[in-house]
Structure formats: C-alpha cells, structure tokens
Amino acid sequence: APATAETVYITADRLLDVRSGSMVARPAVLVEDGRVARVGTVSDLPAPQGATRIDLPGLTLLPGLIDMHVHLTSRHDLHGYRRLTRNATDLAIDGVVNARTTLEAGFTTVRNLGAGSFADVAVKRAVEEGRVPGPRLIVSGPPLSALGGHGDANLLPYDLQREAEGVATGPWALAEKVRYNRKFGADVIKIMATGGVLSKGTEVGAQQLTEEEMAAIVKEAHMLGMKVAAHAHGNAGIKAAIRAGVDTVEHASFLDAEAIALAKKNGTVLSMDVYNTEFILGEGEKAGILPESLAKERTVGQTQRTSFGEAVKAGVKLTFGSDAGVYPHGWNGKQFSRMVKFGMTPLQAIQAATVVAADALGMAEEVGSIAPGRYADMVAVAADPLADISTLEAIPVVIKGGAVVKDAR
Ligand code: ARG
C-alpha cells in the first residue's frame, strides 16, 4: 500500500522485546498516525514507498519508559521553607520546564502524584495541545490528606495557617474530594496513608487516614474509573491501604511478611523510590530539606532497600516510581541500576518501567510495549540494556508518537 504522510518507518540494530526479554536483530517498526502498525525485521517488513525514515544504526530500541511517581511542578533545589516562595503560576512554569527534561530523559509517560492548584492539569493540557514538549501525563492534582498529615501545609504557624486543598476528615468528606479532584481534571487519586519524610511534624510510621476513610476514597474513585495511589511508609498504613483496595503503594518502606503476602494476594503494585535516599542524604541539606526530615530519612532509606529486595524475591508486582522532583528531573533513569543492585534482574527493572507500569495504569493497550496499536513511543540506547542497565541514564534518542523528540547521537 502507498504510504501516507503520517507513515513512519523506523529501523535499528536491535529491539528489546520487553515481555520475553528476547532481542530482535535488524528490527523494523511501521508507524501510522502516531501508533505502531507493524513490528518486524528489515527483511520481512520493507519500507513502504514515501514513508518518513528514522534509521538508528548501532542502537537498541526499547519502549518509551514510564515513571509512575513524579512531581513535575516541584524543584529539587527548593525544599522546606523555600517551597513557600512559589505561587501557582511558578508551579506551572516549572512543570513545563520539567516536562521537557523528563521526556528528553526517555520517559514518554509519567504519572504526576501530587501538585498544588491543579498546576499538573495545566501542564498536561499544554502538552496534549502540542504547545510544549512533554511526556503523556496521568495527573492527580492535590493529594488527599489528613489534617496536619503529609499532604497538608504544615510549615506555617497557627496565626498564618493555611489548609492544603486535599485535606478532609471522614469517609464522606474524602469521597467528596475525589469528586472535586476529578471535576478539575485529575486522572488518578493520590492519598497520604502515612506520615512522610519531607513533611514537617509527621511520623513516617504513623498511619494518617483510617482504613474506613481509605476504603471510601477507593470506592468512590473506582466507581468513577480512577485508580488510587497511596503514599505509605509505615507498616500499619501500608497494610490498611492494601486492605482498603488501593491500586499502588508508593514508597512502601516498612514491609513485613504479612504486608508482602497481602500485596501479592490483592495484586497491589508497589512503587518504591529506591534512588531517592541517595539525593536526600547527600544533597538535601543544601536544598533546604529540614533537619527533622534528614533524620527521618536516616530511618527509612536502608529499610526501604531491604524491603525492596524482599518484595522482589516474593514475586510482588513492582513498578518504577522515582519521586523525581525531590531530586533533579531527568535523573529518573538512575533508579534502574539501584533496582538491579537491590534485587531485580535488568529485565525486571525494565519491565517495571514498561509493561508492569502500563498494566498498573490500565493503559496496556496504549503504552509500555512496541506492539501494534500502541503509541509509537520508543527510546534507543547505545549499549545492550540487559548487559549494562546504566545505559538508561543517558538516552540519546527519544521518539514519541512516531516523531523524534530528541536526537543526541
Ligand atoms: N516524598 C517522600 C516523603 O516525603 C520521599 C521519601 C524518600 N525516601 C525514601 N527513602 N524513599 O516521604
């Protein structure tokens, strides 16, 4: 058939089939209207006449990467009280800048878990309208949180108090927040099930929403076709979140055998930011992170790595979530080598950021693999990523929807 203007023909030296782990030699990918039409080899799938060609000699193709936990509207150099200098417009501008950086790092789909003033919705809209470059975005808007919890505004004293947008008390009030976030453009619901490291006056070990509250949130979100991502460090909060039916547990630092068994039984996906601690403890003080947060991180980091290894061994579903924004955007890929160091095979780490993530998003037909019907989102790397996972830290070529968005060969 003659090629239309929207037909793109991509070749490379190798293509990693992320489901099987096998390498296809001399692959050819045919793209029509931004989606993969056929995948073959240069010999069994020749270039249609008139197709736009993207030839990537010497490189290995794999699907565009997915990060399940970023904060595009946050900056790594503005922690603690420095956060108070930003208004909603600053957040959106930072989001635009960071969206481009993230895309150019090879992450063609990201889930933004927590942004004030729905600035993430604005960034998503600008990307979808093609006005600014960025990954495909799944956004949460403000996180739902207990009063005084990890998602509240706790830096200000009583006389200057402000309550964060996602704060509510009780099952019905929190269910209402789900509707509210959806009304203003949220795709996914982020909840704060326990205290956190970077919030003032919260305990990582303390559960902050009751199981009843979380169940009400999950019921409402699922009724509306939305997934729920729960920030949870402490063991009791992790288990309550899983029992309440959340789809993913973020951080998941203090796992025990029971939490692991529960996650396995319920099919809950864990998203563990195992690089994050290196930045927080190394650079955090300079970036304005509060002393109390640095102290909390010292209790979380190593435990989380151990938990990660145990979860891998037990066969729990694990996806790739970095929490970039705490540390510099574009460094997302550093986490791959840590996932391998703490227990995964390179293929498992790549699957965590492709097929497993796509499944967890409910978007397996759209992203996460180079297969007919999916968006033609791909990255090309110089080394064999199964032999050298750190090649994913510096990705030279990024393709989104069949168009080259970065070529730094
Ligand atoms: N945003 C998270 C929090 O404040 C960061 C936790 C980082 N620490 C870690 N070891 N993963 O709780």
The 8-class DSSP code of residue 281 comes to H
Domain assignment present for 253 = yes
Q: What are the tens digits of pLDDT across the range 195-205?
A: 999 999 999 99
Confidence of residue 24 (pLDDT cuts 50, 70, 90): very high
Question: What confidence tier does 250 reach under pLDDT thresholds 50, 70, 90?
Answer: very high
Q: Using an 8 Å Cβ cutoff, are 149 and 388 in contact?
A: no
Radius of gyration of the chain (CA): 21
Looking only at the bridges linking them, the beta strands covering 52-63 and 378-381 are antiparallel
More confident residue, 3 or 214: 214
CATH code: domain of residue 295 = 3.20.20.140
Tokens of 67: 């990060």
Euclidean distance between the first and the last CA atom of the chain, given in angstroms as a whole number: 32
Q: Which residues line ligand 1 (CB under 6 A)?
A: 196-198, 251, 273, 276-277, 280, 297, 300-301, 304, 323, 326
Mean pLDDT of the residues in the chain: 98
Identify whether 111 is part of a domain.
yes
For residue 273, the ligand 1 atom closest to its alpha carbon is 11
Pairing, β 7-16 against β 23-25: antiparallel
Do 254 and 305 lie in a common domain?
yes
Residue 226 and residue 289 share a domain: yes
Residue 350 lies in a domain: no
**Atom number of ligand 1 nearest to Cα 198:** 4
152, 228: one domain = yes
How many angstroms is it from 198 CA to the middle of ligand 1?
7
Q: What is the CATH number of the domain that holds 55?
A: 2.30.40.10
Q: pLDDT over 70 for what percent of the chain?
A: 99
pLDDT bucket at 389, cuts 50 / 70 / 90: very high
Residues 291 and 391 in one domain: no
Give the residue numbers spanning the domain of 42: 7-64+368-407
Residue pLDDT, tens place only, 125-156: 999 999 999 999 999 999 999 999 999 999 99
The angle that helices 171-183 and 211-223 make with each other, rounded to 10 degrees, is: 30
Q: Are residues 148 and 24 in the same domain?
A: no
Same domain, 55 and 71: no
* Amino acid of residue 272: M
Same domain, 45 and 130: no
Ligand 1 centroid distance, CA of 168 (Å): 23
Atom of ligand 1 nearest to the CA of 204: 12
Structure tokens at 57: 């000699």
**264 Cα–ligand 1 center, Å:** 23
Local confidence band at 5 (pLDDT 50, 70, 90 cut-offs): low
CA of 400 to the centre of ligand 1 (A): 30
Task: Identify whether residues 38 and 105 lie together within a single domain.
Answer: no
By most ligand atoms within 8 Å of CB, the mutation choice from 290, 326, 332 for ligand 1 is 326
Question: Considering the domain boundaries, does residue 180 fall inside one?
Answer: yes
**Number of domains observed in the structure of the chain:** 2
| Among 51, 38, 42, 41, CA closest to 3 | 51
Candidates 251, 292, 334: which one to mutate for ligand 1, based on the most atoms within 8 Å of Cβ? 251
- Separation between Cα atoms, residue 332 and residue 342, nearest integer Å: 17
Residues 76 and 151 in one domain: yes
Q: What is the mean pLDDT of residues 73-89?
A: 97
349 domain residue, yes or no: no
Residue 58 shares a structural domain with residue 75: no
Please tell me the predicted confidence (pLDDT) of residue 180: 98
Question: Distance, CA 287 to ligand 1 centroid (Å)?
Answer: 15
Beta bridge partners of 180: none
Nearest residue to 75 via CA among 90, 62, 65:
90
Residue 261 belongs to a domain = yes
- Assign residue 145 a region (left: φ > 0; alpha: ψ between -120 and 50; beta: otherwise): beta
Give the model's pLDDT for residue 1.
Answer: 46
Work out which ligand 1 atom sits closest to the CA atom of 199: 4
> Is residue 59 located within the same domain as residue 70?
no
Whether residue 2 is predicted with pLDDT greater than 90 in this model: the reply is no
Torsion of CA 190, 195, 198, 200, to 10 degrees: 120
The enclosing H or E element of 280 equals helix 276-283
What pLDDT band is residue 386 in, cutting at 50, 70 and 90? very high
Residue 302 CA to ligand 1 center (angstroms) comes to: 12
Tell me the pLDDT tens digit for each residue of 322-337.
Answer: 999 999 999 999 999 9
* 360 in a structural domain: no
Q: Which atom, in ligand 1's list, is nearest to the CA of 196?
A: 12
**Residue 52 forms part of a structural domain:** yes
Checking ipTM against 0.85, whether it exceeds it is: yes
**Phi/psi-derived region of residue 98, left when phi > 0, alpha when psi is between -120 and 50, beta in every other case:** alpha
* Strand bridging mode 227-232 / 248-251: parallel
Provide the 10 A C-beta neighbour count for residue 93.
14
> HEC profile for 307-333?
HHHHHHHHCCCEECCCCECCCCCCCCC
Q: Flag whether pLDDT at 90 surpasses 70.
A: yes
Separation of CA 221 and ligand 1 centre (Å):
25
Please give the pLDDT value at position 4: 53
Q: Does 101 lie in the same domain as 24? A: no
Q: For residue 234, how far is its CA from the centre of ligand 1 (angstroms)?
A: 12
Q: Residue holding tokens 């050298």?
A: 388
Atom of ligand 1 nearest to the CA of 277: 10
